[in-house]
Amino acid sequence: MATSGFWAIIKFISAIIGHMLSLLFNGVRPKAKIPAVTNDILLQSASKIAKQIRSRNIKCVSVIEAYIERIQLVNPFLNAVVANRFEEALEEARKVDKILDSPTLDDKYSEASTPFLGVPLTVKEAFACIGLPNTSGLMSRKDIISDKDADVVANLKKAGCIVIGSTNTSELCMWYESANHIYGRSNNPYDLRRNVGGSSGGEGAIIGGGGSIIGVGSDIGGSIRMPCFFNGIFGHKPSPGIVSSAGQFPNAKDDRLELLATGPMCRYAEDLEPLLRIMAEEENIKHLDLGKSVNIKKLRFFSIEDGGEEYLVSRLNPQLKQAQENVMIILMIILY
C-alpha cells in the first residue's frame, strides 16, 4: 500500500511538472491550425497527378505553382521547408510540359521510364540535393551546399520528380522533435503548439499540411514512423539496404547500418509502393517480392492497449485508444 501511494504521489507531481512545462513553452496559446486546402490539385495522390500531367488534363506548371503557393501560405506557420528551389522547379515544369506537348515522345520520357514525371517532391535536409543545404541542423555545416544528389534523390529525379525544397530535421537526426539552431523548430499542422516528431519532422509537417505530396525520410528508431503518425500521413521504413542511404549526413556506420533505412513519406497510401520501387531500383526491390499476394488470415496481430502506468509517461489519449480498437474490430471481422 505504501509503495502504491508513493507512486501515486510521483505521478501527480509529474503531471503538475508537465503542465508547468507546457505553460512555459506554449504559454496560454489556444489550439491553432493552418488554413484549409482549397485547391483540388493538392487533394490528389502523386500517382493520380502523374497520370493527369501525362494525359495533359493538367499542366505540370499548374501543379508546381499550386504547391509553391501552398508552401508560401503555410510555411510561416509550420517552419517545415527550410530551403527551396522554386524558380528552378518552375523551369523544369515548363520543360516537362514542352516535352509532353511535342508530337513525338522520346522513350526516356515514357511512363515506364518516368512514372512520376512532373510530380513535386520535398526532401529531408539530411539528404544531399544539388543546390540545397545539407547541414542536418549542425552549425558547423551551415554554409555547406550540395553539389551532387544522394542516391535516393537521383533515383526520384530520374523517375521524373521535381524537387521543390528541403525540409527540417532534428540536429544530426538524433531527436524526437525537429528543431535545431540553424532553422529553429517545426510546428504541427493540426495544432501549431505541438511536436511534429523527428527526425524527419519537417517532411511530415509539410506533407501533412498540404504543401507537398511525397517526400524522402530516413529512420533508425522511428524517424519516418513517428513524424508520419504525428502529422497524419503515411510512411514506410523498409528493410535495411533496400534503399541506398548514400549521400545522407550523418550516415550510419558498423552495426547501425543494420538499423538505418531510407524510405518514402506521402499523403496517400497508394503512393507508398510505387515510391519505394523508384527509391530502391529494380536490383534491390526484387528482394521484397512485392508482387506476391498475402493471405491476411495467416498473419498474426498483437495489440497493446496502452503504455502502462509508469510515472513520467503520458497516458494514451482516449481517441487513440478508440482508433486502435476500431482497427482490431475490422481485423476480427476480416479474420473470422
Report, as residue numbers or ranges, the catalytic residues. 124, 199, 223
Q: Judge contact between 210 and 42, C-beta under 8 A.
A: yes
The SS3 assignment for 169 reads coil
Q: Judge contact between 144 and 125, C-beta under 8 A.
A: no
310, exposed or middle or buried, with CB in 10 Å at 0-12, 13-18, 19+?
Answer: exposed
* C-alpha distances out from residue 265 to 207, 225, 231, 285, Å: 8, 9, 11, 17
Sequence-ordered list of residues with C-beta below 8 angstroms from that of 268, at least 6 positions apart, any chain: 45, 46, 47, 213, 234
Phi and psi angles of residue 125, each rounded to the nearest 5 degrees, phi first:
-60, -15
Query: Ramachandran region of residue 56, left (φ > 0), alpha (ψ -120 to 50) or beta?
Result: left
Nearest partner of 187 among 17, 324, 29, judged by Cα:
29
- Which of 142-146's residues contact partners 24+ apart within 8 Å by CB, and which partners? 142/182
Q: Judge contact between 234 and 207, C-beta under 8 A.
A: no
Strands 120-124 and 214-219: what pairing? Answer: parallel
Identity of the residue numbered 134: N
Q: Quote the cell numbers at residue 289.
A: 517480392
